[in-house]
Structure 1
Amino acid sequence: MLTIGDYYYEVFPKYHPSRVLTLVYEPFAIGTMAILAYKDEKLNTRNRNLVGYILYFLGTLALLLLDLGTSGKGGLENYIGICVIVASFGVGDAYAQGGMVGDLSFMCPEFMQSYIAGSGASGALTSVLRLVTKAAFEHSSNGLRKGVILFLAISAFIEFLCIILYAIVFPKFPIVKYYRSKAASEGSKTVLADLAAAGITTPTEIGDDANNQVGRLSQKELFIKNIDYVLHLYLIYVLTLSIFPGFLYENTGTHNLGSWYAVVLIAMYNVLDLVARYIPLIKKIELKSRKGLMVAILSRFLLIPCFYFTAKYGNQGWMIMLVSFLGLTNGYFTVCVFTAAPKGTRGKCVG
């Protein structure tokens, strides 16, 4: 939705879409995730993730149908409808992303990096898709809307494929079955439905020690052990979301790129965010120190005055460079925090 902000600014010019939709999304995502984290040990992880993916698909399809049903008209009623759909994305995010991170925490840090890099890849792919669909209809009548309709249709189809892949293909990977069996043998009940979907009824394949709870932490102990990493993530995204996307759409002026300006800025952020999520694979430049992470993340707040003065006095080249650096630091620090944070299980990586 961030990548089609140019369309929503044309349809709802008075309602600040990039700012409002972000603010609508966040409380539903955080609130739902907090509730699910509290009840985590009683949840069926497989169902949780499927609910999230289904909400993604239905939400995107609803955006498409709403636009088609209203013929792309503005108005408060239609805007409220979009806000409701965005709220459902927040709930879906809490279900799917929170569930997948929990799922992979049973495994090993390398898998966590791969998942986070995958989320960065989805952002880059989305930006490429948006650039292509925008260019395809640039010179046609009502081309902006036509490009968005095609964009939403393709996105909904991809998300439908994600449901199928997670429900049918993912549980049957040998490495996934191994780690889920290991987690079950250590006392986890949240992976039992996943094992059943893969045709495993008990964790006996790797040794049945389901009553062995050694090494497992309570929710309170795990939270306390990770409290500084929680703060790290909070500070990373407080800064990122204070600039991206609202500031980029509303406070960077108009330049030679015209209607492409904000779309290009979003694309550059997403591409550099993706690149940065692979940098920690180079162990020599991976930042693991807790104090080092805090100092580096706090120093990132110097970007705020940089963006202010660049928007006021700089040209589009400087802004593109600055947005790229924002994405670079966002991706790098996110991966460093998630892979360095202590995990609640004993699992180690295997070949």
Structure 2
Amino acid sequence: MLDLTTKGQGGIGPYIGLCAVVSLFGIADATVKGGMIGDLSLMCPELIQSFMAGLAVAGALTSALRLITKAAFEKSNDRLRKGAMIFLVISTFIEFLCVMLYAYVFPKLPIVKCYRQKAASEGSQTVSADLAAAGIQYQSDMTNYDSKSQRLSKKDLLLQNIDHAVNLFLIYVLTLSIFPGFLYENTGQHGLGTWYALVLVAVYNFWDLVGRYMPLVKWLQTKNRKALTIVVLSRYLLVPAFYFTAKYGDKGWMIMLISILGLSTGHLTVCILTVAPKGYMGPEKNALGNLLVTFILGGALTGISLGWLWLVGKKDAF
């Protein structure tokens, strides 16, 4: 709408408007992600895998749409704008459809009602409100005082799971400092030309999707907290690997590294989010899910902010 209103013209006004729209999308994404992971945590933590895999599918579809629109408008005038417009129309429709499904279909699913009733019986006030919105009146046998006295506070939950929270933060600091900014700015010139960065992004999204399905195989699940921490920290060896590969390596090595980055990001995220809520009451699982998402988003913000460090020492970077 902003592009159509301004007829594709630049300027400070449209730029500020674009920043405002992007900010709104960010707020919406954080709110929905926190709410969904909180809901799924109190229901059945294993369901988080399906949700996170769905996010990875969205990333893969995004890459596919970008490749298709680039190919379709490669030789036309104003190709970038046309491709972006088609992509945004399709993605907006899909997002609107998802919002409608979550608002009107998700609360009425029998499994959702069952787990929300269970959480309400454990003293969850927010779930009771959700049940009421779905037309289900439910009274918990626990008094408000009993439910609060028996469950852990957010501070206690965070202290008990500080390793999981920090691990998620570190995962996304590394990932978002490399993907996608580094891939577009620091991978050099190769035979694929302007397609190179798009191919790397597509490769990342594909392996991120694969990584999020890996925990479905029992012997590939990582539940040990120390092992998770060791793997998360070892991923930081990718920083010098990416640096030297971008400077001296061929595209094959870069594709291998981006595959490892995507695979490890997806796999570790699902492992931590599915393991952390186990053993807690419904309201505690809900709160813990929200807290962990906060650390994911904090890590993403930090990683994006640190991405400019790749430009240090690069000619004509600023």
Q: Say yes or no: TM over 0.5.
A: yes
Residue 34 (structure 2) pairs with residue 98 (structure 1) = yes
Deviation at 1:76, TM superposition (A): 4.1
Query: Which stretch of structure 1 is more off in the superposition, 81-90 or 216-225?
Result: 81-90
Whether contact under 8 Å (1:249, 1:262) holds in the other structure is: yes
In the alignment, which of 239, 246, 251 is matched to residue 316 of structure 1?
251
% same residue: 63
Match of residue 182 from structure 1: 118
1:272 correspondence with 2:207: yes
The answer to whether the 8 Å contact 1:180/1:195 transfers is yes
Aligned length in residues: 279
- Can you give the 5+ residue segments of structure 1 that lack an aligned partner in the other structure? 1-64
Given the alignment of the two structures, is residue 107 of structure 1 paired with residue 39 of structure 2, yes or no? no
Which of structure 1's runs of 4+ aligned residues deviate more than 6 A? none
**Counterpart of 1:258 in 2: which secondary structure?**
coil
TM-score scaled by length of structure 1: 0.75
| Deviation (angstroms), 1:242 | 1.2
The residue number in structure 2 matching 1:209 is: 141
TM alignment of 1:76-91, pairs within 5 A:
76-91=12-27
Whether contact under 8 Å (1:253, 1:311) holds in the other structure is: yes
Q: Which amino acid aligns with 2:190?
A: H
Q: CA deviation at 1:293?
A: 0.7
Q: Is 1:151 matched with 2:87?
A: yes
Instruction: Kindly state the Cα deviation for residue 215 of structure 1 after the two structures are TM-superposed.
Output: 5.7
Deviation of the 1:140 alpha carbon: 2.2
Measured after TM superposition, the shift of residue 135 of structure 1 is: 1.7
Q: Of the two structures, which has the highest relative contact order with CA contacts closer than 8 Å and spacing of 6 or more?
A: 2
The aligned residue for residue 304 of structure 1 is 239
Q: Matches of 1:141 and 1:85 in 2, distance apart?
A: 26
Root-mean-square deviation over aligned CA pairs: 1.8
Q: Which residue of 2 aligns with 1:195?
A: 131
Q: Distance in 1 between matches of 2:122 and 2:231?
A: 36
Within a 5 Å distance, the mapping from 1:107-256 to structure 2 comes to 107-202=43-138, 208-211=140-143, 213=147, 216-256=151-191
Alpha-carbon separation, structure 2, partners of 1:66 and 1:164: 24
Rounded Cα–Cα distance in structure 1 between residues aligned with 2:35 and 2:261: 27
Structure 2: distance between partners of 1:215 and 1:268 = 47
Q: Which amino acid aligns with 2:154?
A: Q
Q: Which amino acid aligns with 1:280?
A: P
> How far apart in 2 are the matches of 1:96 and 1:291?
30
TM-score normalized by the length of structure 2: 0.83
Indicate conservation of the 8 Å contact 1:276/1:331, yes or no: yes
Structure 2 gap ranges (5+): 283-318
